Amino acid sequence: MAEKIESIRNELNDSTVSNQEELEKFRLRYIGRKNVIADLFGEMKSVAPEERKGFGQKVNELKQLAQTKFQEHITNLEPTDDSQDKSVDLTLPSASDSFGSIHPLTATKQRFIEIFERIGFNVSSGPEIEDDWHNFTALNFPENHPAREMQDTFFIEKDPDVALRTHTSSVQVRVMEQQEPPIRTLSPGRVFRNEAISARAHCIFHQMEGLYVDKGVSFADLKQTLYHFAREMYSKNTEVRFRPSYFPFTEPSAEIDISCQICHGEGCNICKHTGWVEIGGSGMVDPNVLKNCGIDPEVYSGFAFGMGIERITMLKHQITDLRLFTENDIRFLKQFSTL
Ligand code: DAH
Q: In whole angstroms, what is the distance from residue 177 CA to residue 199 CA?
A: 37
Look at residue 291 in the predicted model and tell me its pLDDT: 98
Measured in Å, residue 42 CA sits from the centre of ligand 1 at 100
- Ligand 1 atom closest to 307 (CA): 5
126 lines ligand 1 (CB under 6 A): no
Confidence check: pLDDT of 338 > 90: no
**What distance in angstroms lies between residue 207's CA and the mean position of ligand 1's atoms?**
9
Check residue 105 and give its pLDDT.
96
Per-residue pLDDT tens over the stretch 281-308 = 999 999 999 999 999 999 999 999 999 9
Residues 6+ away with beta carbon under 8 Å from 83: none
Is there a single domain that holds both residue 110 and residue 65?
A: no
For residue 123, pLDDT over 90 is answered with: yes
pLDDT at 81: 59
The pLDDT confidence band at residue 88, using thresholds 50, 70 and 90, is confident
Ligand 1 in contact with 192 (CB < 6 A)?
no
For strands 183-192 and 122-123, give the pairing.
Answer: parallel
> Of the residues 62, 77, 92, which one is the last residue of a structural domain?
77
Is any ligand 1 atom within 6 A of the Cβ of residue 308?
no
For residue 130 and ligand 1, the question of a CB distance below 6 A is answered with no
Pocket-testing residue among 282, 307, 310, ligand 1, by greatest number of atoms within 8 A of Cβ: 282
**Distances in whole angstroms, Cα of residue 230 to Cα of each of 225, 227, 265, 292:** 9, 5, 16, 31
DSSP 4-35: HHHHHHHHHHH----SHHHHHHHHHHHTSTT-
Domain contains 262: yes
Average pLDDT for 190-205: 92
Rounded Cα distance between 172 and 17, Å, is 78
Q: Which atom of ligand 1 is nearest to the CA of 211?
A: 12
Task: Using CA atoms of 116, 119, 120, 126 in order, give the dihedral in degrees to the nearest 10.
Answer: -20
The atom of ligand 1 lying closest to the CA of 250 is 13
Q: What is the pLDDT of residue 185?
A: 98
Same domain, 20 and 138: no
**Interatomic CA distance for residues 172 and 286, integer angstroms:** 12
Our count of domains for the chain comes to 2
Same domain, 255 and 332: yes
Whether residue 132 is found in the same domain as residue 258: yes
- Average pLDDT over the chain, rounded to an integer: 92
Q: Are 57 and 199 in the same domain?
A: no
The answer to whether 45 and 19 are in contact (CB under 8 A) is no
Q: What is the pLDDT of residues 93-112, one digit of tens each?
A: 887 777 778 999 999 999 99
Whole-number Cα distances in Å, 320 to 7, 98, 133, 216, 238 = 80, 27, 36, 40, 20
Residue 191 has pLDDT above 60, yes or no: yes
Residue 84, pLDDT > 60, answer: no
Residue 321's Cα: distance from chain center in Å? 17
Is the four-CA dihedral 199, 113, 106, 164 of positive or negative sign? Answer: negative
User: Using CA atoms, how far apart are residues 128 and 162, in angstroms rounded to an integer?
Assistant: 10
> Domain range spanning residue 18?
2-77
Flag whether pLDDT at 241 surpasses 90. Answer: yes
Cβ-in-10-Å burial (0-12, 13-18, 19+) of 286 comes to buried
What pLDDT, on a 0 to 100 scale, did the predictor assign at position 339?
A: 44
Domain match, 134 and 233 both:
yes
Q: Which of 49-63, 138-152, 160-174, 321-335 is least confident?
A: 138-152
| Beta carbon of 225 within 6 Å of any ligand 1 atom | no
Within-domain flag for 86: no
Q: What's the gap in Å between 88 CA and the centre of ligand 1?
A: 57
Q: How far apart are CA 204 and CA 248, in angstroms?
A: 22
- Both 21 and 125 in a single domain? no
Select from 167, 172, 192, 202 the residue to mutate for testing ligand 1; criterion: most ligand atoms less than 8 Å from CB. Answer: 167
Most confident of 38-47, 95-104, 254-263: 254-263
Q: Which atom of ligand 1 is nearest to the CA of 169?
A: 1
Domain-located, residue 20: yes
Q: d(Cα 156, Cα 258) in Å, to the nearest integer? A: 36
Q: Which has the minimum average pLDDT: 146-160, 218-232, 265-279?
A: 146-160
- The mean-pLDDT minimum among 91-105, 213-227, 261-275 falls in 91-105
pLDDT band at 337 (very low <50, low <70, confident <90, very high): low
H-assigned helices in 120-262: 132-135, 169-178, 219-233
Instruction: Return phi, psi of residue 141, to 5°.
Output: -70, 125
Are 134 and 221 found together in one domain? yes
The mean per-residue pLDDT over the stretch 243-260 comes to: 96
Statement to judge: residues 188 and 308 lie in one domain: yes
d(CA 285, CA 282): 9
Average the pLDDT over each of 22-26, 200-204, 315-319, 334-338 and give the range with the smallest value: 334-338
pLDDT of residue 101: 84
Q: How far is the CA of 246 from the centre of ligand 1 (A)?
A: 10
Q: Do 249 and 305 reside in the same domain of the chain?
A: yes
Average pLDDT value for residue range 154-180: 96
Is the same domain home to 141 and 49? no
**Number of C-beta neighbours around residue 63 at 10 A:** 17
Q: How far apart are CA 270 and CA 266, in angstroms?
A: 11
